[in-house]
Structure 1
Amino acid sequence: MSVQNIIEAVNHNNNQASTTKLPLEFQVSFNDQTNNDFNTLFRSLPAHRHDNYFAAGVPGSFYGRLFPTSSLHLGSISSSLHWISRVPGELTAAGRRDSIQCTGLDEDVARAYSGQFTRDMEAFFDARAEELVSGGLLAISALCLPAGAVLAQTGLGMIFDLLGACLVDLAELVCQTFTVFFMDELQTFTLTYYIMILSNPNGFNLIH
């Protein structure tokens, strides 16, 4: 839907500004991880697409380069930047944790996630800076928390904490029934997402 809105807006602006009224052509590239089912994506494209709308899939992490230098006129990323590239190394080394997410209640865990998020954002913007043409635009829609809020006290945080508790209960049941021991692996399982914190919602300053 967002891609269709962008195309319609650009076409409208072109029709208003152009005297020749030549139709524009759009190369739209959809990015996702390599294990994404791009066939499902392509089947969901609008059937009424015009002949000037060409679609392609680009697999790979957006924390690295995806496109040639100066090849993008407009980039759009929606509700994806909360997925960080990896579990912070500090947590991998520490092992056992009390939650499958960064609840915001443990300062050391929050600091580790914040550090990884910062490194990922630097890599993301460095890559897009190479790929965007001069004067190109990058539109970002992302999840944020207000300053002072912690994820564990939000609806999303409560859902993931409940999911983590269910996984522990299920693992304990399986271990008791089938004598399988993987509690250590479960206790180190961590969701690789982190929601940034806004220090000033009106000015959009980030704490990370």
Structure 2
Amino acid sequence: MPDHFYLSEFDPARHRSFDYVSASNDWVPWVSASIPGSLDLQVRRRIESNLKHILAGLEMKAGLIIPHGERLAGREVLYEPYFQSLIFEFCVGVYSVCEGIGSAHHLHNIGDDGSAGPRVSRARWTDALVAEYDPADVLSLRERVEIVQDKRDRLHQDSLGARDDIDWHSFGYAQAFVPARQALQPLLQAEIGDVPATTNLLIR
């Protein structure tokens, strides 16, 4: 089932002790199609390399989160702190995907091929992402990306004395995972023909 990721009991006779959803390279066509062709070739290559691994990692996390969050086995399948940590990591990965693709579109929009390594601010890549994938604001993309950004920022430990305790309940299934997965949908749907058929990131 595509919504699952299995870790098998270790067996030295087996070639591997896991079954995966998609291989990283399965994501290259989608990432490539999602990046404007005006960017420098090496910039495109780096984005493809970075995001394909992040996306495969997101599938692994989703494959563990969904069975627990939906109680597909009729019971819990993860230790709750692991569940919350996986959701946090899922949000960080979604943030990176949105940041990479949003930054690529921002650079394209201003006629920059990215070869000089310009830094794109969060506000600019968010605006570019929304303009590209939800210009009429009917898919709540900005709202969901902002939720992802908020979850990602909660784990910053740069000003310890000024930060409140982390509310781990804010990394719940409905509060964090669902909107993070929903944030990916406009991006996936835009190049649906290049999305790996087996992925569990696409809401069907």
Larger C-alpha radius of gyration, 1 or 2?
Answer: 1
Q: Which has the higher strand share?
A: 1
TM-score by length of 2: 0.22
Could you say which structure has the greater relative contact order, defined with CA pairs below 8 angstroms and 6 or more residues apart?
2
TM-score by length of 1: 0.22
